[in-house]
Amino acid sequence: MPEASSTKLASTADFDRRDLDWYIDKVVQLIVFFAGISAIIFIIGIFIFITMEGLGFLFEDFTFKEFFLSPFWEPSDEDAPEYGILALIAGTASVTGLAMIVAIPFSLGAAIYIGEFATGKVRETLKVLVELLAAIPSVVWGFIGLSIMNPLIIDLFDVPVGLNVLNAGIILGLMAAPIMTSIAEDALKAVPDRYREAAEALGATRWQVIFKTVLPAAKNGLLGAVLLGVGRGFGETMAVLMATGHAVNIPGSLFDPVRALTATIAAELGETAVGSPHYQALFTIGIFLFIITFLINLTADLIVRGIRKG
Amino acid sequence: MFAESDLNARNKRVQGLFRMLFLMMTVLLIVPVAIILFTLVSKGGSVISIDFLFTNPTDGMTAGGIFPALLGTVWIVAVALLASVPLGVAAAIYLNEYAGDNWFTRLIQLAIINLAGVPSIVHALFGVGAFVIFFGFGTSILAASLTLAIMTLPIVIVSTRESLRAVPQAFREACWNMGATRWQTIRRIVLPNAISGILTGVILEVSRTAGETAPIMFTGAAFFLPFLPQGVFDQTMAMSLHLFVVATQVPGVPEELPFGVALVLIAMVLIMNSISIAFRMYLRGKKKW
C-alpha cells in the first residue's frame, strides 16, 4: 500500500464509531424498546392472569346458559349455588344507559360551546373547570350518591330508598360527562379551520358552519367520544357500588335498586376463599368485563382513526 | 352599508338561540358539581383541623383523625410513581424517538388505549392474581402500588409523549449533525427541553393514583390498621378506601366525619390537578419557539 494514500484516505477503522457512547446508545435503545412494548405485555398479562384465576370455574361450574341467562346470582348458597349474571348485566346496562342519556347531550353541547363559541379567557376557564371535574375520584362520587343524592331523591319522588338506577345513573352521567366533553372537544378541534373558513366565505352563520360543516366532519370523533364514555360507565366500580343499592334485580323502573357487574366483584372478592368456585366465578366476570371494554375501546379507536385516514 | 335582510335577522336570532342553548348545557354540567362541592365544604369543613389530619382514628373509626390513611396514600403513591414514571417515560421515548410509523407502533398505541380503558376492578383482579398470589407479595403496599402503576402508566406515556413531540425536530437534527448519538441527543437536548411537560403529567398521575379505590381494595389497602406501615411489604390504610369504609361499612359514624374525609381527599386531588394545570399554562407562556 503506497504511503501517500494511507495518510489521505482514512481506513474503515477510522469510520468505526463503536466507542463507549455507541454501545450505550444500543443498550438504551434496547431498554426503551422493552419499555415501549410493556403496554402490550401488560394487556396480555392482565388477560392471562385473570383467566388463570377464573379457569377452574370455566371448566367445572360454568355453563353458558346459566351464566348469561339466569337472573339468579346466589354464589354463597350452600346446596345449589347459582351463577347467573343476567341481572348484573341488566344492572350495569340500565345504569350506563341512563348515564349516557344524561351525559351525551350535555357533554356534546358543552364541547360545541367550548370549542366553537367560547373564546379567550372564557374558553380557557371552562376547559380548566371541565378538567378539574374529570379529576374527582369515583369513591367521592359514590359518597355523593350515598349522602347527597339519596336524601334528595327520597324527598323529591317520595320513595323509601334513594339508592337506585336513577341515583347511580345521574352520578355516573356527571362523572362521564367531563371526560366525554374533553374528547368531543378534541374531535371538533381536529376539523381543519379551512372547512370553517370555506363555509364562512360562502356566507354561512356560525351555527350553520357548526351544523352543516363542523359536526358532519367531526362525526366519527364524536361517536368515539360517546363510545369511550360508555366504556367508562361500564367499567366504573366504586360509584355504582355505593349508589345503586346493590340488590340483584332486573330493574322495572328508575326507582329499583340494581347491582352492577363491577360492584359485585368489589363487594364479594374480599369474602371469598382463594380458589373457591365463587372466587373463580368473580374472575370469570372480570374476563367478561375485560373483553367487553376491549371491544368498546377497539371500536372507538377504529372509528376515530377512520376520519384521520379518510 | 348593507341593510339587514329578513334572512340575516333570522339567522342571527337562530344563532343567538343556539349559542344560549350550548352555554346553558355547559353551565348545567358545572353547576351541580359546584353545588356538590359547596355541600361537601359546608358539611365537612367543621371536621377539618390539624388534629383531624394528624391523629389516629379512635372508637372503632367513629372519632379521631385520618393520619394513617393520609400517610398510607403517600406511601402507595410514592411507590407507584417509582415504578411507573421511569417505565412510562422510557416507553414514551421509544414511541416518539425510535419507533417508526408502522403496524407495530399502532399495536402499542392500541395496547396503551386499552390499558387506560380496562375497568379499575379488572386491574384489581389482575393485581390479586399477579402480584398478591403469583409473585407472592401478599396484600402489601408493593402489590397495591404496582397495580396502580400499571393502571396509570398510560397517563405518563401519553403526557410525556406530548411534551417530547413539542421539542422541535430541528433541535435533534442540529445535535445529530454534531455527531451525537441518538441517546446523547435525547439526554442532552430532548429531555431537558421536555422535562417540565413530563412533570405536569407526573403530577396528574399523582392525583389519579391518590383517588383510586377499587385497585387497592384487595391488593394492599386495609380497612383499619392500628399501626403505621414500616416498609413496602406491609399493608396500609388509604384515604380513598377510608372514605368508602367510614361511609358504608362502619355503624355509628357521626354524619360529618365522612364529609370531612371526602373533603380532604377531594382537596388533595384538586390541588394536585390545579398545580399541574397552572404549571402547564406557565410553560405555554414561557415557550420560546
Burial A214-234 (b: 16+ CB within 10 A, else e): bbebbebbbbbbbbbbbbbbb
Q: Are B194 and B164 in contact (CB under 8 A)?
A: yes
Identify all chain A residues contacting B94, using CB atoms and an 8 Å cutoff. 32-33, 35-36
How would you class B10 by CB atoms within 10 Å of its CB: exposed for 0-12, middle for 13-18, buried for 19 or more? Answer: exposed
User: How many domains does chain B contain in total?
Assistant: 1
**Could you list the residue range(s) of the whole structural domain that residue B119 is in?**
67-286
What part of B 22-81 touches A (C-beta under 8 Å)?
22-26, 28-30, 32-33, 36, 39-40
pLDDT at A23 exceeding the cut of 80: yes
Per the domain annotation, does B109 fall within a domain?
yes
Question: pLDDT tier at B262 (50, 70, 90 boundaries)?
Answer: very high
CB of B282 less than 8 A from some CB of A = no
Identify all chain A residues contacting B122, using CB atoms and an 8 Å cutoff. 46, 50, 235, 286, 289-290, 293
Q: Distance of CA B22 to CAs A17, A181, B17, B26, B142, Å?
A: 62, 12, 9, 6, 47
CB contact under 8 A, B243 and A140: yes
CB of B244 less than 8 A from some CB of A = yes
How close A69 comes to chain B (CA, Å)? 22
CB contact under 8 A, B98 and A46: no
Per the domain annotation, does B47 fall within a domain?
no
Question: pLDDT tier at A12 (50, 70, 90 boundaries)?
Answer: low
pLDDT at A4 exceeding the cut of 60: no
Name the maximum alpha-carbon separation found in chain A. Answer: 105
Per the domain annotation, does B282 fall within a domain?
yes
Query: What local confidence, expressed as pLDDT, does residue A43 receive?
Result: 95
How close B38 comes to chain A (CA, Å)? 11
Query: What local confidence, expressed as pLDDT, does residue A308 receive?
Result: 53
Q: What residues contact residue B124 under an 8 Å CB cut-off, 6+ apart?
A: A265, A266, A269, B147, B214, B215, B216, B217, B218, B219
Residue of B nearest to A30 (CA): B94
Chains A, B: CB contacts under 8 A, how many? 263
Per the domain annotation, does B18 fall within a domain?
no
CB of A228 less than 8 A from some CB of B = yes
CATH of the domain at B204: 1.10.3720.10
Residue ranges in chain A assigned as alpha helix (H)? 3-8, 12-15, 20-36, 38-59, 64-69, 86-112, 120-135, 138-144, 150-157, 165-189, 193-201, 206-208, 215-235, 238-243, 261-268, 277-309
Task: Write down all domains in chain A, each with its CATH number in brackets.
Answer: 87-309 (1.10.3720.10)
Cβ count within 10 A of residue A149? 23
CB of A203 less than 8 A from some CB of B = no
Instruction: Determine the 3-state secondary structure of A257 from DSSP.
Output: coil
Q: How far apart are CA B168 and CA B54, in angstroms?
A: 47
CB contact under 8 A, A28 and B183: yes
Per-residue pLDDT tens for B158-186? 999 999 998 999 999 999 998 888 899 99
Q: How far apart are CA B187 and CA B182, in angstroms?
A: 9
CB of A61 less than 8 A from some CB of B = no
CB contact under 8 A, B125 and A42: no
Instruction: Determine the 3-state secondary structure of B139 from DSSP.
Output: coil
Per-residue pLDDT tens for A285-305? 999 999 999 999 899 888 887
CB of B257 less than 8 A from some CB of A = no
Query: What local confidence, expressed as pLDDT, does residue A310 receive?
Result: 41
Interface test with B, best of A29, A37, A46, A259 (most B CBs within 10 A): A46
Q: Are A180 and A229 in contact (CB under 8 A)?
A: yes
pTM of this structure: 0.89
What ipTM describes this predicted complex?
Answer: 0.89
Q: Distance of CA A115 to CAs A127, A205, A206, B216, Å?
A: 9, 16, 12, 37
Q: To the nearest whole percent, how much of chain A has pLDDT over 90? A: 50
What part of B 127-186 touches A (C-beta under 8 Å)?
128-130, 133-134, 150, 153-154, 157, 181-184, 186
Q: Are B162 and B156 in contact (CB under 8 A)?
A: no
pLDDT at A3 exceeding the cut of 70: no
pLDDT at A309 exceeding the cut of 60: no
Per the domain annotation, does B38 fall within a domain?
no
Q: List B63's β-bridge partners, or say none.
A: B58
Interface test with A, best of B11, B23, B26 (most A CBs within 10 A): B26
Per the domain annotation, does B28 fall within a domain?
no
CB contact under 8 A, B122 and A112: no
CB of B121 less than 8 A from some CB of A = yes
Q: What residues contact residue A207 under an 8 Å CB cut-off, 6+ apart?
A: B14, B15, B18, B19
The C-alpha cell that represents B22 in the structure block: 350550548
B174 vs A80 pLDDT, higher one? B174
Query: What local confidence, expressed as pLDDT, does residue A1 receive?
Result: 44
Residue of A nearest to B208 (CA): A135
Q: Are B217 and B180 in contact (CB under 8 A)?
A: no
